[in-house]
Amino acid sequence: MEKIIMGKAFVLGNNIDTDQIIPAEHLVYSLTDEEESKKYGHFALSSVPINESGLPNGGIPFIEGDNYTSEFNIIIGGSNFGCGSSREHAPFALMKAGVKAVIAESYARIFYRNSVDGGFVVPYEAGKINDRIKTGDELEINLENNTLKNLTTGEQFNLKPLGDVLPIIENGGLFEYARKTGMISF
């Protein structure tokens, strides 16, 4: 696992549900076919209302034009990030778009589990910080000391340690973790 994650911030509000992250109509594509699965990146966050997309001002599409990946690879969310359906396609879509980490005030349970167990994105919790970071700010996450530094403003934030799920994240997902700990033997 990388110890430092650097990237541009994409800031969102509260209750970003899985229909906004990846609309249900796109769930038909293969997640294993390398070429076809790129579509998940293309449609990531495509149902976020445009005035709420890329705060504080909104109006910034997460994916530009025909691109499959985003120039933003750290999502800053509010409370209840990933609420709604159980679709693992949601954190998968963010990963395909190039997102490395999400930092939100809180998460819905299934999205959080999927992010961790599938090894897609690192789901950090922090206090309410989505009003203190602007879309496009350059960020640096330090996974060793659980801090977030806004390189654009110089401001630093503490992140909630990942706790029980850290070993799963460090191993890249549930299966690798289960192998390492001897739970499964294949």
Partner 1 sequence: MGMTITEKILAKASGRDKVTPGENIWLNVDVLMTHDVCGPPTIGIWKKEFGEKAKIWDKEKLVIFPDHYIFTANKHANRNVDILRDFAKEYQVDNYYDVGTERYKGVCHIALAEEGYNLPGTVLFGTDSHTCTSGAFGMFATGVGNTDAAFILGTGKIWEKVPESMKFTFHGKLPEYLTAKDLILQILGDITTDGATYRAMEFDGEAVFDLSMNERMTLTNMAIEAGGMNGIIAADAVTEAYVKERSAKPFEIFNSDKEAKYFSKYEYNVNDLEPLVAKPHSPDNRDKVRNVQGTKLTKCYIGSCTGGKLTDFQLAAPILFLGQEVKVPTFVVPASTEIAKQLEIETYKGISLKQIFENAGCFIAQSSCAACLGGPDDTVGRSIDHDVVISTTNRNFPGRMGSKKSSVYLASPLTVAASAVTGVITDPRDML
| Binding positions for partner 1, rule: CB under 8 A | 15, 17, 19-20, 23-25, 27-32, 47-49, 79-80, 83-89, 106-110, 113-114, 117-118, 164, 173-175, 178, 183-184, 186
In the complex, least distance from residue 134 CB atom to partner 1, rounded to whole angstroms:
23
Nearer to partner 1 (CB atom), residue 26 or residue 149: 26
Nearer to partner 1 (CB atom), residue 30 or residue 156: 30
Nearer to partner 1 (CB atom), residue 6 or residue 27: 27
In the complex, least distance from residue 20 CB atom to partner 1, rounded to whole angstroms:
6
In the complex, least distance from residue 167 CB atom to partner 1, rounded to whole angstroms:
11
In the complex, least distance from residue 77 CB atom to partner 1, rounded to whole angstroms:
12
Q: How far apart are CA 75 and CA 62, in angstroms?
A: 10
Nearer to partner 1 (CB atom), residue 30 or residue 153: 30
Q: Which phi and psi angles does 3 have, rounded to 5°?
A: -90, -25
Nearer to partner 1 (CB atom), residue 136 or residue 173: 173
Q: How far apart are CA 45 and CA 145, in angstroms?
A: 29
In the complex, least distance from residue 158 CB atom to partner 1, rounded to whole angstroms:
22
